[in-house]
Every structure is written in structure tokens, then in C-alpha cells.
Amino acid sequence: MPPSAPPKDDPSARPSFRRALSNRPFFLLWSSQLISQSGDFIFDVALLWLVLQTTGSVFAVSLVVVATLVPTVLLGPVLGVYVDRWPRRTILLGTNVAQGVLVLVLSGLVLAHATDLTFIIAIVFALGVGAQFVRVTSNALIPQTVGTPDLATANSLLSFSNSTTQVVGLSIGGVVVALFGVELPIAYDALTFFAAALIVLLMSATIGRPEPSPTGAPTGFVEDFVEGFRYVVGQRFLLELIAVGLVVNFAGNAAFTLWAPYADLVLHGGAATYGFLGAMIAVGAIVGALVVGKLNMRPNAGRYIFAGLFGFGLFVIALGLTRSIPLALGEAFGVGFITSVINIPLLTAVQARVPTRLMGRVMSVLLGLILAAAPFGAFFAGSLAIATSIEFVFVAAGLLVIAAGAVGAVTMRDVRSLTY
């Protein structure tokens, strides 16, 4: 499967799923993500349901979600320096193995009934560090495996695999947890990390090697970090993306931290309902990824982003006003579809415009700052839901996203006119 990416400066080339998958390094990257993510979503169902059932506390669920988000905020910008300094293939390999070992340990302790909330939070935090490494490294590798015309297609394929495994993982996870408990899903997640590492091993060792600085002279950690941070600060479109992203991630995480309690207490379903709701978000994201991946978004990336924010807010509000499981499933589909409309052009524009040698630092700083408010949204969601209701949190979150999109569409000219 030899590489066949079009020239990066060919603006006339149309997006092609087949051409993107014909690049062996990208195909292996995509395959490894497909395998590991199938375990991740089954693990999510099992872990959050375990916490909810053993503690009986919505607030405890929100603490676990916070623990998954904090590494992105605290460590994200720092990890990006290493993504640019170390071979990216090696990072993916080592991280998958380390995550597999952590989940395997957790699986053994769950079988022995020797876990508590503090230990679970510590494990989830460590897994969050690994997930941030994988996220930034994968995004930095994409421009090294496909040409610019296929960047959106490559991102769509990764979104497709993520969402497909979410459908399967959450659907099966909810049923398996309901029938057999949480032990089997957690053990399966550990195995998928090891399988993903084996796939990464098939990549050529030359893929993802760090690029030297323009001067050719070695640089230190601080110099590398400052260079990446200065690049972000010097790009107005990145600063505008961070500003709107802070609000959206605060609101979005506030709502979806309460996903399991929403399924249980508002819709009066069980673990299977929780899983199917997440699966419908993934189905919507799959359809969205397939649609967006075939479109030429290059001239109108910014318009896609703002249109998506309005749609996302409306669907979240609708979920907060819904008591019917079938209707909630349809609204969850809409959330997933709109998420692809927002995220794919956003990531593609960044990958196309940022120099490859800076990609790890810029991507990690960008994600770290965009997600900085996410742990606060997750943390306050539990308290606000107790003081008001789960439904109120959903409606308030949707209104906040719509407001952010409206203000951004009027004032953020660089994002509004964003192209790549």
C-alpha cells in the first residue's frame, strides 16, 4: 500500500477517502486508533456506571469526568514539546503499552473488589495523560501522511472510526454491563491497547521523526515551549478559536458530565439506555464525518464552525426538554452530526496552516487552552444539578453555546473567514 498523497500545493485536487487510506502510515495510524477506541468506549460505560452504582452520587461521577479532563489543561502544552522532540511513532507505541498496563491493573483490582473512588480517579488521571499524548501525536502525524487536499478526509476517517467504535462500544458496553457487570469491559479495554501497540509497530521507524529547527542548532525545552506558545499568540485565528472554545467546552462538558444520570433519572432508563444514547451521538458523528469528508470545505471552514455551534446548542436544549427515550435518541444523533461539522474543519484548518515541526506544540497549547474550562464545567455540573435539576443544566448549557456562537460570528472575523 504505497503512499499516493497529492502534492500539498495542489488546490484543484478533490478530497478522496481512497487516496487517504492508500497511504500506509495513515492507514496504520487509523487502524490502531480504531482498535484502541473500541475498548475506550466500553471502558467508559463500565467505569462511570460502576462509580454511579457504588457511590450513588452524581457528584462522584462528575469528579471522575474532571479527572479525565485535567491532564489536557495542566499538562497539554508541556506534552506538546515532547511530541515535537521525540519520534511520534515511539510516543504512540509507548503510550499504548503504558495505558494497557494501567487498565490491566484496574481490571485485576475490580475483580478483587479492592477499588475505591480515590484509586479510580488516580487511574483515570493517568489514562488522561496518555490520551492527551495520543491525541496530540495523532493530529501532528496526519499532515505527514496525507496531502492538504486530503486533510479533511483523513480527519473525517479518524472521526468515522472514533464514532463507529463509539456506536459499537457504547451499545455493547451498556448491554454487557447490564448482563454481566463491569469486569469484562474493563479487561477488554486493556487488551485493545496492546493490540494498537502491535499495529503501530508495523509503521516505518522513519515516520514522525522530529524535524530540526530552522537554524539547525539544538534547542532546550524552554526555548521549544516558548516558540510554540509565541506562534499561537501571534495567530489571531487561533486566539479566536480558543476564546469561543473555552465557552463551548465549559457548557458542553457541563451537560455531558450528567449523561449517565440523565439516562437514569430523567429518562428512567438503565445502563443500556445510557449506552444507546452515546451510541446515537456516534451514529450522528459517523454520518456527519462521511458528509463533511466529501465536501470541499477549504473556502468556508469558518462558516461551518459557527453554523455548527448554533445547531449544537439547539440540540442540547432539546435534550434538556425531553422525557421520551426515542426522542432523546434522535436528538443525540443531531448532536453527533453537528459535532463533526464543527470539529473536522477546525482541525483541518489548523493542520493545514501550522508548520509540521511546530504541530505538536501548537496543537497541545491550542487543545489545552480550549479545554481549560472543561473541568470546571464538569465540576459545577454536579453541584448545579443538585441545586436545580439535570434538565436545567442541559438547557443552560445549550443557551450558552448559542450565545458564544452568535458573539463569535459577529466579532471573530478571522475565524468567520477561515480557509486553508
Residues of the chain with pLDDT under 50: 1-8
Task: Please provide residue 324's backbone torsions phi and psi, each rounded to the nearest 5 degrees.
Answer: -95, 130
Inter-helix orientation angle 221-233/236-256, to 10°: 90
**8 Å CB contact between 377 and 206:** no
Asked if residue 109 is part of any domain, the answer here is yes
pLDDT score for 109:
86
pLDDT score for 126:
94
Tell which residue, 398, 308, 295, 399, has the closest CA to residue 346.
308
Asked if residue 15 is part of any domain, the answer here is no
Asked if residue 325 is part of any domain, the answer here is yes
User: How far does CA 247 lie from the centroid of its chain?
Assistant: 17
Asked if residue 405 is part of any domain, the answer here is yes
Q: What is the CATH number of the domain that holds 169?
A: 1.20.1250.20
pTM of this prediction? 0.78
Q: Which domain holds residue 187?
A: 21-211+220-416
pLDDT score for 246:
92
pLDDT score for 102:
95
Inter-helix orientation angle 359-370/117-141, to 10°: 140
Tell which residue, 168, 170, 147, 177, has the closest CA to residue 49.
177
Q: What is the pLDDT of residues 98-120, one digit of tens each?
A: 999 999 999 988 888 778 888 89
Q: What is the pLDDT of residues 193-235, one digit of tens each?
A: 999 999 999 998 888 888 776 666 667 888 888 898 899 999 9
Dist. CA 153–CA 184, nearest whole Å? 35
**8 Å CB contact between 185 and 98:** no
> What is the number of domains present in the chain?
1
Tell which residue, 200, 276, 250, 228, has the closest CA to residue 370.
250
Tell me how many helices (H) and strands (E) the chain has: 17, 0
pLDDT score for 356:
86
Tell which residue, 3, 41, 8, has the closest CA to residue 20.
3
Dist. CA 342–CA 348, nearest whole Å? 11
Asked if residue 271 is part of any domain, the answer here is yes
Q: What is the pLDDT of residues 4-36, one digit of tens each?
A: 444 445 555 677 788 888 889 999 999 999 999
Dist. CA 278–CA 288, nearest whole Å? 15
Asked if residue 300 is part of any domain, the answer here is yes
Asked if residue 232 is part of any domain, the answer here is yes
